[in-house]
Amino acid sequence: MIKAVVFDLDDTLYDEIDYCRSGFRAVAAYLTERTGHSQSQPFFESFRKHFKSGERTRIFNISLEELGISFDNQLIKELVEVYRTHQPDIHLPSESREILDTLQKKYTLAMLTDGFLPAQRLKVKALGIEDYFKCIIYTEELGRDAWKPSTAGFEKLISVLNIPAEHTAYIADNLKKDFIAPNKLGMLTIQLIRPLRVHTEISKDPQSQPDKVIKNINELPLLLETL
């Protein structure tokens, strides 16, 4: 019997692409002021283009080269910091709020999320969801080596909730890392495949496979009822 429902954050409760766009706008605005350019749109469009092409680690470098803007490592560090610490313009989808409202009447809700700590905290605040959860585990608070697929965050979660792993469900999106640790601990794992999700990689590792797959968060309450 499921007693606790634990959510991942990015591409689970909202579309992570919305955060990426928000961050690119913030960086574009910063660059416009920093370089004295009259418009931020060329920066934003270049960031978005390279992100859509699959680039994830050198977007700012590639875009500045493309636009003929001189830069050094210090400027790139500044842009990354702006991206990670900006006030995100993101909103919780109505269907996600409805599901949280529904589930909190029957289950203990919690969250476990990877990512750089300031950014993850700012996302949660912008979405207005903190009060839904008995606890939120930001794995970076435990150290970078506690990021998924480490079991460290999940073990702390079990301890804080005081609910056994076998009575806990974890809902997330990323096959590469999200389900390995909760599977090891005996949690029920559910993959939510959002249409606009950022991470579409597949994995053939049996340990990374979820127990169940849903394509709409609205399927979650009925699924939990039947387990």
Count of C-beta atoms within a 10 Å radius of residue 20 = 21
Average pLDDT over residues 195-207: 89
Cα–Cα distance, 186 to 180 (Å, whole number): 10
Type of residue numbered 199: H
Confidence (pLDDT) at 195? 94
Distance from the Cα of residue 46 to its chain's centroid = 23
- Model confidence at 78, pLDDT cuts 50, 70, 90, reads very high
Q: What is the pLDDT of residues 40-66, one digit of tens each?
A: 999 999 999 999 998 888 999 999 999
Percent of the chain residues topping a pLDDT of 70: 100
Confidence (pLDDT) at 66? 95
Sign of CA dihedral 203, 208, 213, 215: negative
Q: Which of 136 and 202 is assigned the larger pLDDT?
A: 136
Q: What is the pLDDT of residues 161-200, one digit of tens each?
A: 999 999 999 999 999 999 999 999 999 999 999 999 998 8
- Model confidence at 204, pLDDT cuts 50, 70, 90, reads confident
Quickly list DSSP for 135-185.
Answer: EEEEGGGG-GGGSTT-SHHHHHHHHHHT--GGGEEEEE--TTTTTHHHHHH
Q: What is the mean pLDDT of the chain?
A: 96
18 to each of 48, 90, 98, how far by Cα in Å?
Answer: 11, 6, 20
Cα–Cα distance, 22 to 2 (Å, whole number): 36
